[in-house]
Each structure stands twice: as structure tokens, then as C-alpha cells.
A and B are shown apart, each in its own frame.
Chain A
Amino acid sequence: MAGWIAANPQIFVVALQNHLWLSGIALVAVLLIALPLGLVLTRQRGLANAAIAIVNILRTVPSLALLVIMLPLLGTGFLPSVVALTLYGLPALLLNTYTGLTQVDADIVEAARGQGFSDRQVMMKIEIPLALPVIFAGIRTAAVQIVSAATLAAFIGGGGLGELITAGMANFNFPQLVAGAVAVAALALVVEVGFAAVERLLTRQVRMGAA
């Protein structure tokens, strides 16, 4: 495996870069959609129930199904993969953003209003900071899911480390296959552990702030 990477450094680096781009762009898109949408949903409870019902269905759709359904809609390549990965990561963050914000103690919000906080201040200084650990847990789940599912982007020509696995399989090149598999497994674990560490740090700060 290490031998294959040493012999084909460019192929490996391109696959890794592609994987990171796919996952990174999809994660940023998830953040840009899920955070504001989650916030809006806490203000529109009627809309929230409908949205959550849809998101719960989206959450159960298998990653491979979500990716390949893009084929007839958007064709093959990078963009369809990013769209599918965004849809795949969206439920985790949207649900956590919504839950995190709705779980904020109503008494605290009431007390803040009593002290003359405006709606905006309540949101920025009370609700969002208190919901942050739950929101960040959602970001971590979405990130791991996206990095993991990005492996399957190879099936719709999206590139990434999955391509080493599929190409290795097609050409009976087992060192290449194993290199891709180990690299993507390691990447997923690094993302999980890294985000978990930031999450712990954040949670501790919120607790210290409250104390």
C-alpha cells in the first residue's frame, strides 16, 4: 500500500485533494443552508414540522442512492457529487441546529428580555451561544458523513479517494485498492477525532461561561 503511494504520488495526491474539495465544499454548503434555515424554523413552528418531516425522510435515504439519483438530473462529475453530498449532510446539522435552539431554557431567554435585550441580542448573545455545543455536534456528524459518502462519488465520476478503490478493483490492482481504502478510513477517523476535540473544547467554554 505504502509502496503503491510511493510509486504513484501524483495520482494519490490528486485523489486526496479531490476528496477534500468535494467534502469541504459540501460541508460549507451545508453550513450556509442548515444554520440560517434552522434558525428560521425556530421562528416558524408551523413550517418547522413540515421541514423536519421532509428532513427525516432525506436522512434515511442511502448515500449511494442519493449520489446516483443525480445522474439523470445533473449528469456525472464534481458538481452532481457536491450537490448529493450537501443533501446527505444537511439533515444532521439542520436537526441539531433546530433542536439546540429550541432546547435553550425559556427562563433564560425571558430573563434576558427582562434585562432589555433586543430580539437580535437574545439570538446572538443567549440562544446561539447556548445552543452551540449541540450545533457543533451536528457539524461533526455532517462532516464525518460527508467525508465518508464522498468515497462513493467515484461511482458518478466525482473523483476522490474512492476512485483509487474502484480503479484498483477494475484493474485487479490490490495495492491501489488498499491504499485508497486505508487513506479514506484514516481521513474519516481524523475528521471524527478532530471535530470531537473542538466540540469538547467548545462545550467546556460554554459551561465555564455559564458558571
Chain B
Amino acid sequence: MTWAIENYDRLLLALWEHIQLVCVGLLIALVIGVPLGVLSARRPRFALVVLLVSGALYTVPALAIFALLIPYLGLGFWPAIVALVAYALLIIIRNVATGLREISPDILDAANGMGYGSWRRLFAIELPLALPVIIAGVRIAVVTQVSVATVAAFINAGGLGDIIFQGITQDFGEKVVVGAVVTSALAVFCDESLRRVENWMRANQAEHA
């Protein structure tokens, strides 16, 4: 453990870069994915096309996406973000659409009867009710992004993958292990904390219902 102790600042920096990659990627994925998810819930045809395209993107291995982006976008942080967004989109869109579709029609009828316009109904009733399912999607998306961001070091985007790749090229086992363990810990931490948020929201809703 000597390397990790002596170079804790480099480790923390890599962790910070990793978190930045995931946060920026998630934010952009939400900005694009939530409207697409709402549209998908309203129009089944549109949903089919969107899910097909984002599903195909999701299947492509991370290293392949990164490699294919190099000729167009080069190396660094932003090309990595493009790939991270591509991975999260499918999950966000699918869960927003599922969450909205699962709302009972009676509730929507009641909102219409109370004179809610469609925008107000969306923001005041539908999205809050769909929130646990959306958070469940965010959880899967974040865990996926933590994993994909590790590979992003391949295109010089930094993050914990950098420590791993340095360890491999320098034949320095401890760096490899420390990088891998910290990445895994980050993934498990994100998964567990978002799972708690999700459960808490579900319990909250059940109480109000």
C-alpha cells in the first residue's frame, strides 16, 4: 500500500476526474434523455425508434465507441463525455418512459378534471410520480458510467483508469490493484446510495398514497 499512501494526492485527483466525467456525462444524458423519454411515453412509434437506436449504442463495447470517436473528435475529456452520454441515454429514456406509462389513468383523469394543463400535469403530477423509476434508471446509468469512464483513460480523459493503465505500462502491480479497487468501490458506493434514495422515495410515495 506504500504507493497509495505516498501518492494519495494523485489518487484523489484521479478520483475527482472520474467523478467529473460521470457527473457531466449524467447531466447531459438527463437533459437529452428526459424530454426524449417523455416523448417516448406519448408516442409508441417514436419510442420504438429511439429505443432501437439507443439500444444499439448501448450494445457497442466502450472501447470501440472511444476508438471510433478518435478520428472525429480526437482525444480528451469531451470525446469521453460523448461516449458516456451515449451509454446513459438508453437507460434514462427507457426508465422515464416506463415511469410515466405506469401512472394510473385515474390519476391523470383526476388531474384533467381539476383543470391541469398538459404541461402543469407533467411537471406537478407525472414526473414526481415517475421519480422512483427515473432514479432507478439514474442508478443503472451511473454504475455503467463509472465503468465506462475507467476505459476513457484510453483516450486521455483522465480518471481512475489512468492509474490502472499507468500501472500496466510500468508493470507496477500495486497501482493496477489500487486503481481497480477504488473504481470498484466508487461503483458500489454509487449503486448503494442511489438504491437507498430510490427505496426512500418509494416508501414516501406509498405513505402518501
A residues bordering B, Cβ < 8 Å? 56-57, 60-66, 68-69, 71-72, 144, 147-149, 151-152, 155-156, 162, 165-166, 168-169, 174, 177-178, 180-182, 184-185, 188-189, 192
Q: Give chain A nearest CB distance to B35 CB in angstroms.
A: 26
User: How many angstroms between the C-alpha atoms of A61 and B164 in the bound complex?
Assistant: 14
Chain A residues within an 8 Å CB radius of B56: 189
Residues B128-178 near A (CB distance < 8 A): 143, 146-147, 150-151, 154, 161, 164-165, 167-168, 173, 176-177
Contact B60 A62 (CB under 8 A): no
Q: What are 19 A-B contacts defined by CB distance under 8 Å?
A: A60-B187, A61-B184, A61-B187, A62-B147, A62-B184, A64-B180, A65-B164, A68-B180, A71-B176, A71-B177, A169-B67, A181-B63, A184-B61, A185-B61, A185-B64, A185-B65, A185-B68, A188-B61, A189-B59
CB of B70 within 8 A of chain A?
yes
Question: Are B179 and A165 closer than 8 Å at their CB atoms?
Answer: no
B95 within 8 A of A: no
Task: Report whether B168 and A185 are in contact in the complex, using a CB–CB cutoff of 8 Å.
Answer: no
A151 & B61 in contact (Cβ 8 Å cutoff): yes
Measured CB to CB, the nearest residue on chain A to B146 is A62
Question: What is the bound-complex CA distance between A148 and B154, given in angstroms?
Answer: 16
Q: Are B68 and A178 closer than 8 Å at their CB atoms?
A: yes
Is the Cβ of A152 less than 8 Å from the Cβ of B63? yes
Dominant secondary structure at the B interface: helix
Is the Cβ of B177 less than 8 Å from the Cβ of A69? yes
In the complex, B113 has a CB within 8 A of chain A: no
Q: By DSSP majority rule, is chain A's interface helix, strand, loop, or mixed?
A: helix
Question: Which one of A60, A151, A192 lies within 8 Å of B191 (CB-CB)?
Answer: A60
Is B107 an interface position by the 8 A CB rule?
Answer: no
In the bound complex, how far is the Cα of B188 from the Cα of A166, in angstroms?
28
Tell me, in angstroms, the Cα distance from A112 to B191 when the chains sit together.
40
Could you tell me the distance in whole angstroms from the C-beta of B113 to the nearest C-beta in chain A?
Answer: 38
Q: Return B163 CB to nearest CB of chain A, in Å.
A: 10
Residues of B within 8 A of A184 (CB): 61, 63-64
Give how many B residues have a beta carbon under 8 Å from the other chain's beta carbons: 34
- Whether A148 contacts B59 by the Cβ 8 Å rule is yes
Q: Which residues of B contact A169 (CB under 8 A)?
A: 67, 70, 154
- B60 A185 Cβ-Cβ under 8 A: yes
The reply to whether B168 and A71 contact each other, CB–CB distance below 8 Å, is yes
**Are B59 and A192 within 8 A (Cβ)?**
yes
Task: Provide the bound-state CA to CA distance between A56 and B140, in Å.
Answer: 12
If A68-B176, A72-B173, A72-B177 touch, whether A181 touches B64 (CB-CB below 8 Å) is yes
- Smallest Cβ-Cβ distance to B186: which chain A residue: A62
B183 located at the interface, meaning its Cβ lies under 8 Å from any Cβ of chain A in the complex:
yes
Q: How far is the CB of B175 from chain A (nearest CB, A)?
A: 10
The residue of chain B having its C-beta at the shortest distance from the C-beta of A180 within the complex is B67
The answer to whether A177 and B70 touch across the interface, beta carbons within 8 angstroms, is yes
A92 CB, nearest partner CB in chain B, Å? 13
Cβ contact of A62, chosen from B68, B150, B167, B168, cutoff 8 A: B150
Q: Which 5 A-B pairs have the closest CB atoms?
A: A62-B147, A65-B180, A181-B67, A148-B61, A181-B64
